[in-house]
Amino acid sequence: MPFIPHTEADVAEMLAAIGAGSIDALFDEIPAALRIQSLAGIPDALTEMQVGRLMQSRAQRDGRPLNFIGAGAYEHHIPAAVWAIVSRGEFYSAYTPYQAEASQGTLQLLYEYQTMMASLTGMQVSNASLYDGASALAEACLMAVRAHRKSKAARILVPAAVNPIYLEVARAIAEGQNLKFDIVPFAMGEGEPGKGTTRPSSLEQYRGQDITAVVVQQPNFFGLLEDVDAITDWAHSNNALAIAVVNPLSLSILKPPGEWGAKGVDIVVGDGQPLGVPMSSGGPYFGFMTTRMEHVRQMPGRIIGRTLDLDGKPGFTLTLQAREQHIRRSKATSNICTNQGLLVTAATIHMSLLGSAGLENVAAASQQQTRKLVEALTRIKGVKLAFSGPRFHEAVLQLDRNVAGVIEALAKRNVIGGFDLTPRYPELGNALLVCATEMRTDEDIAIYAAALVEALAEVKS
């Protein structure tokens, strides 16, 4: 039996010290009628060797197909040093830094992270993470309602070009507190400038109404670049806060939200996964949030501050804890307790290894590989580019046949082709969201193109 170190002699001595006749007696306060004798549904224990074989065989069943999906989780190269350090027991098995003096490693790392994240997003202050990008958006909407003293409507404008699954999560989390979400359509007309993006003119129908906040995602879910200056200015001119949802890697080459419009946005959120976190079948990732100093007390999550110790030496500690659940309880800014500390550790090390220049190279290379992917695939009959405007590293392709079928046919050929947009965006027809990062070489792209030709032939039109 692994992990329990007691010998029979230990047990006897301990029971004697307690004055109990058996270990079973330690449970005598539990009513007998509730006690179970057996967990028949749990299989027998496996040794480490046996469970290793099992996991290897399951993993091999899934294999390593070529990945061309983005849609919020991106495959980038992670330098080996990142997880070598993250896996150190002192980071891996440490707890939340409640005893600050015994946690200066974690706390200083988080302070460095906060500094990098605030600067990357062009804002003044960052928290120490939320669960993921989607729940971070929910928290940002709730925070906007708290922070915006003059608005009573709790009404948030969300472009349809924002990640639709993020919106589903925001609804699931925030509608319990009576937030209302209004969807702003994206431009769809043939030949319309900015097709696939959110035209500022489509916000005009809300002019003069009590809107608490306007959300804008950059790049948007389709990979396209939005007119973020105009949208931010529109929000502020209509007395609403502006919430930005961003890809942190893209911020190495794109203007950060703190510089959007005349005043910059009010709250920035997103998912930090592109910074040193593997796709790992869906998580754990981490959500980031940055904001202006004036809103810092409304920001959920943990915050690390630098201060002095008794000897006047600088040190780091959790601060502004009075807003959090363990003190403020029912009036807390959020119920968040455990967050995503280990992943923030990875991201901080990743950002330190690459620096701004390294991130720029990765971002630009990803953009370039997606351009090559689009060129290669749109040469195939039955494949068209849906939106031709400026984009980051994703694109929407329109196919002349059922996308789900094509995706299955590609999977059989060891290619994970993209994200099927059809169910959530029926107005786009048979639409596929594809992504090529710096990890997709020209050879990979050629393999995809060849596989797609076969897949299209296989799927009925």
Q: Which of residues 226-255 bind other proteins (CB under 8 A)?
A: 228-229, 251-255
For other proteins, the binding residues in 206-225 under the rule CB under 8 A are 225
Q: Among 61-69, 189-197, 198-206, 235-243, which window interacts with other proteins (CB under 8 A)? A: 61-69
Contacts 24+ apart (CB under 8 A), 93-100: 96/302, 96/337, 96/338, 96/341, 97/317, 97/318, 98/318, 100/315, 100/316, 100/317, 100/318
Max intra-chain CA distance, the chain: 85
Q: How far apart are CA 297 and CA 320, in angstroms?
A: 7
Give the H/E segment covering residue 455. Answer: helix 442-458
Structure tokens at 36: 């179970």
If one asks whether residue 8 binds other proteins (CB under 8 A), the answer comes out as no
Q: Looking at residues 166 to 205 of the shown chain, list those that interact with other proteins (rule: CB under 8 A).
A: 166, 168-169, 171-173, 176-178
Judged by CB under 8 A, the residue of 222, 286, 387, 448 near other proteins is 286
Closer residue to other proteins (CB): 206 or 290? 290
Residues in 432-451 that interact with other proteins by CB under 8 A: 438
Q: Select from 140, 143, 159, 163 the one that contacts other proteins (CB under 8 A).
A: 163
Residue 447 DSSP code: H
**How many C-beta neighbours within 10 Å does residue 332 have?**
16
Residue list 312-351, contact with other proteins (CB under 8 A): 313, 315-317, 319-332, 334-343, 345, 348-349, 351
> Residues 65-104: x/- map of binding to other proteins (CB under 8 A)?
x-x-x-xxx-x-x-x-x-xxx-xxxxxxxxxxxxxxxxxx
140 interacts with other proteins by CB under 8 A: no
Q: How far is the CB of 205 from other proteins (least distance, A)?
A: 26
Q: Which residues contact 324 (CB under 8 A, 6 or more apart)?
A: 302, 332, 333, 334, 336, 337
Rounded to whole angstroms, the Cα distance separating 166 from 133 reads 7
Among 109, 157, 242, 451, binds other proteins (CB under 8 A): 109
If binding means CB under 8 A, how many residues of this protein chain bind other proteins? 204
Nearer to other proteins, 353 or 450 (CB): 353
In the complex with other proteins, the residue whose CB is nearer, 207 or 306, is 306
DSSP 187-246: P-STT-TTTTS--GGGGGGGTTS---EEEEEES-TTSBPP-HHHHHHHHHHTT-EEEEEE
What is the contact mask toward other proteins in residues 34 to 53, using x (rule: CB under 8 A)? Answer: xxx-xxxxxxxxxxx--xx-
